[in-house]
Amino acid sequence: MNEYTKAVIDSTTEKNPAETEYLQAVREVLTTIDPVVEKHKEFKKLAILERMVEPERTIMFRVPWVNDEGQTIVNRGFRVQFSSLIGPYKGGLRFHPSVNLSIMKFLGFEQIFKNALTGLPIGGAKGGSNFNPKGKSDAEIMRFCQSFMTELYRHIGHDVDVPAGDIGVGGREIGYLFGQYRRIRDAYEGGVLTGKDPIYGGSLARTEATGYGLLFFMREMLAANNISIKDKTVTISGAGNVAIYACEKAQAMGAKVVTMSDSNGCIYDENGIDLALVKEIKEVKRGRIKEYLDKHPEAKYIEKSGSANPAWTTKTDIALPCATQNELNLEDAKTLVKNGVLAVGEGANMPCTEEATIYLLEHKILVAPAKAANAGGVATSAIEMTQNSIRYYYTFDEVVEKLDKIMTNIFKSCKDASEKYGVAGNYVAGANIAAFEKLAKAMEAQGVV
Ligand code: NDP
Summarize pLDDT for 81-129 with one digit per residue, the tens.
999 999 999 999 999 999 999 999 999 999 999 999 999 999 999 999 9
From 90, 105, 114, 126, the catalytic residue: 126
Q: Specify whether 371 is catalytic.
A: no
User: For the purposes of burial, counting CB atoms within 10 Å of the CB of 70, is it exposed (0-12), middle (13-18) or buried (19 or more)?
Assistant: exposed
At residue 302, φ and ψ (nearest 5 deg) are -115, 115
**Pocket lined around ligand 1, Cβ cut-off 6 Å:** 165-168, 210, 238-243, 262-264, 322-324, 347-349, 374, 377
Q: What letter would DSSP give residue 280?
A: I
Helices (H) and strands (E) in the chain, counts: 18, 12
Region class of 234: left (phi > 0), else alpha (psi between -120 and 50), else beta: beta
Q: What letter would DSSP give residue 272?
A: -
End-to-end CA distance of the chain: 27
- Number of CB atoms found within 10 A of residue 259's CB: 31
pTM of the full structure:
0.96
CA 54 to CA 12: how far, in whole Å?
9
Nearest residue CA, atom 28 of ligand 1? 323
pLDDT level of residue 405 (50, 70, 90 thresholds): very high
Helix (H, G, I), strand (E, B) or coil at 363: coil
Q: What is the pLDDT of residues 39-87, one digit of tens each?
A: 999 999 999 999 999 999 999 999 999 999 999 999 999 999 999 999 9
The CA-based diameter of the chain, rounded to the nearest angstrom, is: 64
What's the CA-to-centroid distance between 262 and ligand 1, angstroms?
9
Nearest residue CA, atom 20 of ligand 1? 263
User: For the purposes of burial, counting CB atoms within 10 Å of the CB of 448, is it exposed (0-12), middle (13-18) or buried (19 or more)?
Assistant: exposed
| Helix, strand, coil % over all residues of the chain, rounded to 5 | 50, 15, 30
- Residues 83 and 89 sit within 8 Å (Cβ to Cβ): yes
Which string of b and e fits 191-229 if b means at least 16 CB within 10 Å?
bbbbbbebeebbbbbbbbbbbbbbbbbbbbbbeeeebeb
Q: Which domains does the chain have, with CATH numbers?
A: 3-189 (3.40.50.10860), 207-368 (3.40.50.720)
Considering the chain, what is the average pLDDT of its residues? 97
Q: Does position 306 have pLDDT exceeding 90, yes or no? A: no
CA 246 to CA 214: how far, in whole Å?
7
Instruction: Give CA separation, 441 vs 30, 38, 114, 158, in Å.
Output: 16, 15, 16, 25
Q: What is the pLDDT of residues 137-194, one digit of tens each?
A: 999 999 999 999 999 999 999 999 999 999 999 999 999 999 999 999 999 999 999 9
